[in-house]
Amino acid sequence: MIELSAAAIALLLLVAFCAGWIDAVAGGGGLIQLPALLLVFPHAATLTAMGTNKTSSFIGTSVAVRTYTRAHTPDWRLARRIMLVAFIAAGLGSFTATRVSTEFLRPVIVLVLAAVWVFTLLRKQQLEAEVFETAHHTNALLITAVVGYYDGLIGPGTGSFLLIGFVAMVGLSFLGASVAAKLANWSTNLASILVFTVSGHILWWLGLSMGAANALGGRLGARTAIARGSAFVRVIFLLSTGALLVKLAWSLI
């Protein structure tokens, strides 16, 4: 039984709230939440931190999805396909994570994030399409499959990868892409939770507690993104992804 001090629990709840807000606005909340869990549990299995992180993120993402879809109704025919592909890909990724080490992927993640960050910074004008209406369906499903597998295998940065993929390769605005990314991320989290539950790698009491805080942050973040629009989401994305890039690059030195 893992015991935590009141200060450690309070810190994790605060981190979960902030992660929910960032994840709802621009994706990548796990970039804050997962490292915090690893810091608090330095001697626990990495998969336990991953499973607990997924539980919290799933609850927060559920609230963000509900808020987003109330304001922007997606093409549910395509949305269901994206969610199904995301679920299968993430399930395979999480199963792989229980069998192999993921350390070798870190340098690759840093390079990909650097390319994504530079691309987003240089691309100043974005299409203002409604959710999925001008989407290239094949590209959307391909992006979902690749990023979904990554989410199940490692996780942090998934929302950001989905966001930029739906903008760059599908043609959605940043706000529209946020809705698409949330639907896909909801499915990836659900699939990973099922796999980690079977393998016994979830601290349910902590995951559910952090999930409540994450949900509050996610609801506030989704409302903020809807009210402020795509330009605001783009700025938050650049800031959060830039911070992640620096952190990951530093960890490789």
Segments making up each domain of the chain, as ranges: 6-252
Amino acid at 233: V
* Whether residue 135 has pLDDT greater than 50: no
- The Cβ of residue 197 has, within 10 Å, a number of other Cβ atoms equal to 14
Amino acid at 192: S
* Whether residue 106 has pLDDT greater than 80: no
Contact 197, 48 (CB under 8 A): no
- Residue 225's alpha-carbon distances to 11, 23, 176, 230, in angstroms, are 25, 11, 10, 7
Rounded CA gap, 222 and 68, in Å?
Answer: 6
* Whether residue 46 has pLDDT greater than 50: yes
For range 103-127, the mean pLDDT = 64
Whole-number pLDDT of residue 128: 44
Whole-number pLDDT of residue 112: 66
* Whether residue 231 has pLDDT greater than 90: no
Contact 241, 29 (CB under 8 A): no
Rounded CA gap, 178 and 173, in Å?
Answer: 8
Rounded CA gap, 200 and 146, in Å?
Answer: 26
Contact 55, 211 (CB under 8 A): yes
For range 97-122, the mean pLDDT = 69
Task: Grade residue 238 by pLDDT with cuts at 50, 70 and 90.
Answer: confident
- Residue 200 phi/psi, 5° resolution? 75, 40
For range 207-228, the mean pLDDT = 87
For range 11-25, the mean pLDDT = 86
Rounded CA gap, 165 and 160, in Å?
Answer: 8
Look at 43-57, 131-145, 208-222 and tell me which has the smallest mean pLDDT.
131-145
Whole-number pLDDT of residue 222: 78
Look at 7-11, 25-29, 83-87 and tell me which has the smallest mean pLDDT.
25-29
Which residues does 128 contact at the CB level (< 8 Å), separation at least 6? 173, 176, 230
Whole-number pLDDT of residue 233: 66
* Better-predicted residue by pLDDT, 126 or 4: 4
* Whether residue 158 has pLDDT greater than 90: no
Tell me which DSSP letter residue 130 carries: P
Task: Grade residue 99 by pLDDT with cuts at 50, 70 and 90.
Answer: confident
Rounded CA gap, 125 and 35, in Å?
Answer: 33
* Better-predicted residue by pLDDT, 186 or 66: 186
* Whether residue 126 has pLDDT greater than 60: no
Give the mean pLDDT of the chain: 80
Whole-number pLDDT of residue 23: 76
Rounded CA gap, 222 and 219, in Å?
Answer: 5
